[in-house]
């Protein structure tokens, strides 16, 4: 890919030599069994999202996006709802409060304790299930609505993940996905981190592609009807300075933590990334207390054909 979408890359752990290997290939290089490689990759992804404090970040910055998604999908009392890559439940909990019978699923169950506490405080009842977005442990057509709020976009194999969203949604059911756009602030943050990050594993795609309407239309294809996509933004006024933004993400956000971990032994690289993240925030209007950032996202809703 050589268009603007190709420049966006999400930092992603890659399989390492610790994976079980098969016999050497004809080229003389040892090959890693694809199933084993995928398992190693998912283990690293789980560890990445469990690092830092994503539940605090979600509560501080983007909790309002969950209700936006739930409203757009139109969750009604009695609906069977699946939140894919739910994190600590910023879409799942509002869906449960609307009367849905909700399952919050995520690859990193370490995030669930915070979600359970939040749900209890809100008076919401729902089920929490560990699940890989690319291999969901649910029956075909099991849900009336399937949603994901800046979650499924981080599954490395987009077509597998999209196929699972479709598979578990009943015909006539609704699908809703909210994702950061490549051109928006978070998409540009991933672009900023890309030179410092590990290369994406073979077959993986950059997360912000889920924020490109054409890409999502291609993923869902003719299996959906009434697809609507609109770009919106959330206002972030949490940070007093560009440096405060950078340091917050270094502490709390798994993908940022992973990139800094990769370059930790190179002070020049660390300094360069520090400066790049500060400049990113400054270029988007954050200079002092009271300044706000606008984080653009793509909201896609569709009906299962």
User: Looking up tokens 């800046």, which residue turns up?
Assistant: 150
Residue 144 has pLDDT above 80, yes or no: yes
Q: Does domain 34-235+295-304 have CATH number 3.40.710.10?
A: no
Residue 296 near residue 232, CB atoms below 8 Å: yes
- Of 222, 186, 224, 221, nearest to 206 by C-alpha is 186
pLDDT for the residue numbered 22: 37
- Given CA atoms 97, 162, 193, 47 in this order, what sign does their dihedral have? positive
Separation between Cα atoms, residue 245 and residue 144, nearest integer Å: 38
If phi over 0 gives left and psi between -120 and 50 gives alpha, with beta otherwise, what is residue 188? Answer: alpha
pLDDT for the residue numbered 236: 98
Mean pLDDT of the chain: 91
Q: Which of 24-28, 134-138, 163-167 has the lowest mean pLDDT?
A: 24-28
Residues 6+ apart with CB under 8 A from 185: 280, 284, 293, 294, 295, 296
Mean of pLDDT values over 49-72: 98
Q: Calculate what percentage of the chain has a pLDDT beyond 90.
A: 87
| Predicted structure pTM score | 0.90
Mean of pLDDT values over 210-227: 98
| Per-residue confidence band for 37, with pLDDT thresholds at 50, 70 and 90 | confident
Q: Which of 5-19, 89-103, 106-120, 128-142 has the lowest mean pLDDT?
A: 5-19
Q: How many CA atoms lie within 13 A of 64 on its CB side?
A: 9
Residue 15 has pLDDT above 60, yes or no: no
Residue 102 has pLDDT above 70, yes or no: yes
Mean of pLDDT values over 71-79: 98
Residue 20 has pLDDT above 80, yes or no: no
Mean of pLDDT values over 276-282: 98
Residue 77 near residue 104, CB atoms below 8 Å: no
Separation between Cα atoms, residue 37 and residue 94, nearest integer Å: 36
Separation between Cα atoms, residue 132 and residue 151, nearest integer Å: 11
Residue 8 has pLDDT above 50, yes or no: no
Residue 161 has pLDDT above 90, yes or no: yes
pLDDT for the residue numbered 34: 64
Residue 147 has pLDDT above 70, yes or no: yes
């Amino acid at each position: 890919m050589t268009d603007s979408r190709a420049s966006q890359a999400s930092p992603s752990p890659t399989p390492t030599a610790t994976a079980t290997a098969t016999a050497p290939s004809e080229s003389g290089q040892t090959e890693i069994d694809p199933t084993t490689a995928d398992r190693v990759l998912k283990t690293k992804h789980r560890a990445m999202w469990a690092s830092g404090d994503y539940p605090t970040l979600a509560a501080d910055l983007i909790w309002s996006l969950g209700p936006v998604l739930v409203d757009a999908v139109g969750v009604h009392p009695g609906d069977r709802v699946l939140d894919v890559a739910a994190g600590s439940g910023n879409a799942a909990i509002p869906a449960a409060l609307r009367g849905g019978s909700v399952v919050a699923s995520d690859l990193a169950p370490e995030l669930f304790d915070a979600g359970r506490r939040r749900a209890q405080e809100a008076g919401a009842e729902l089920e929490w299930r560990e699940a890989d977005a690319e291999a969901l442990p649910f029956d075909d057509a099991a849900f009336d609505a399937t949603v994901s709020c800046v979650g499924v976009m981080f599954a490395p194999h987009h077509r597998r993940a999209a196929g699972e969203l479709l598979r578990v949604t009943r015909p006539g059911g609704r699908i809703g996905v909210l994702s950061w756009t490549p051109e928006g602030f978070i998409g540009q943050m991933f672009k900023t981190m890309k030179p410092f990050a590990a290369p994406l594993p073979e077959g993986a795609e950059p997360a912000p592609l889920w924020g490109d309407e054409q890409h999502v239309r291609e993923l869902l294809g003719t299996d959906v009807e009434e697809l609507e996509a609109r770009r919106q933004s959330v206002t972030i006024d949490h940070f007093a300075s560009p440096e405060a933004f950078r340091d917050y993400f270094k502490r709390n956000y798994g993908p940022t933590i992973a990139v800094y971990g990769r370059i930790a032994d190179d002070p020049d690289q660390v300094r360069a990334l520090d400066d790049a993240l500060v400049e990113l925030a400054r270029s988007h209007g954050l200079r002092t207390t009271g300044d706000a950032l606008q984080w653009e996202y793509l909201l896609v809703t569709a009906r299962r054909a």
